[in-house]
Each structure stands twice: as structure tokens, then as C-alpha cells.
Amino acid sequence: MEVKQCSFCRMPYQSMGKKLCGDCLVRIDEDFCKIRDYLYDHENAGIEEVSEETGVSRKTIMHLLKEERLIVGDKKEGDFGGGILKCESCKKPINTGRICAGCKNEVLSAIQESVGAAAPIRRPKQNTNESEDESYKGVAKLQLKGRRGL
């Protein structure tokens, strides 16, 4: 085991491959359950509302969005929640995660080329909705990933 710094609370911990300490893993899972339960009763609630009503910090909500456990905006309608999340590679607005589907496909393509795989790669349609607003406004609506066809 190796001593690392937790990427969430910045405290040192004995790592077994995770980027978060055990305390943060448990707390984030508990916070996710609070958010999940709240969103079942208050579908499309805003980030501020969810934070206030559940007691879960905005930092934790953003962490869950980047982990792809929550979705901001309405994926079906191309709503990107005011540009709160942006692809870390190309800076296009995204609903969840860290990188957009197009950049994921480029990485996958590069990996396949490097190992000689000949499998075809599906490329999703690129959304041209580009929001340059870098500020967090808290007006985006949250959804649970995997709920109602997402």
C-alpha cells in the first residue's frame, strides 16, 4: 500500500488504488443516496435546491456529475445545464462526466490503432451548442443517470 493524498478532502491515506480515502468514499455514497431520494420526489430540481434541501455540498454534487452518477440538464433535448460542465479536452458543454463522447471516441480510436484492432468506431453526432459561460450559476437541473431512458 502507498500513502496518497485524498483528491477530495486532501488528507493523507493508505491507498489501495482509489483516489479517495475511505471516509470520503462512504460520505459521497451517503450523499448520493440523499440526492437520489430527493430527485425521485423532485425531478429536475436545481443544484442549489438539491444542495439546500439535502445538505450535500455543491462540491460533492459536482464530483458526482464528473463521476457520471448524475446528469445536468436534459440529455434528450440537448440542454447542457448552462454550461456548468465542459469537456476537459475540447471545452464543449457536456451533461455528465469529464470528456464528451467525441473525445472519448478519439481516445478509443487511438487505443485501437495502437493495438491494431480493426473494430469500427461509432461516432456520435456532435452538438454545436457551445456555451462560453464559465461561471457556476446553480440553475441547472439535475437528473439521475439511467433514469427514464437517460
pLDDT (average), residues 127-133: 43
Q: What is the pLDDT of residue 30?
A: 96
Q: How far apart are CA 89 and CA 18, in angstroms?
A: 23
Q: What is the pLDDT of residue 132?
A: 37
Q: What is the pLDDT of residue 131?
A: 41
Q: What is the pLDDT of residue 65?
A: 92
Longest dimension (CA), the chain: 51
| 111-128 pLDDT tens trace | 888 887 555 555 555 554
Q: What is the pLDDT of residue 72?
A: 85
Q: How far apart are CA 76 and CA 89, in angstroms?
A: 23
Of 115, 89, 111, give the one whose Cα is nearest residue 102: 89
Q: What is the pLDDT of residue 25?
A: 93
| 30-59 pLDDT tens trace | 999 999 999 999 988 888 999 999 999 999
Q: What is the pLDDT of residue 53?
A: 95
Which range of residues forms the domain containing residue 67? 2-149
Of 22, 26, 21, 25, give the one whose Cα is nearest residue 10: 21
12-15/93-94 β-pairing: unpaired
The overall pTM is greater than 0.75:
no
| 60-118 pLDDT tens trace | 999 999 999 998 876 565 566 667 889 999 999 888 899 998 999 999 988 888 887 55
For the four alpha carbons of 65, 66, 69 and 75, in that order, the dihedral sign comes to positive
- Quote the number of domains for the chain: 1
Q: What is the pLDDT of residue 130?
A: 41
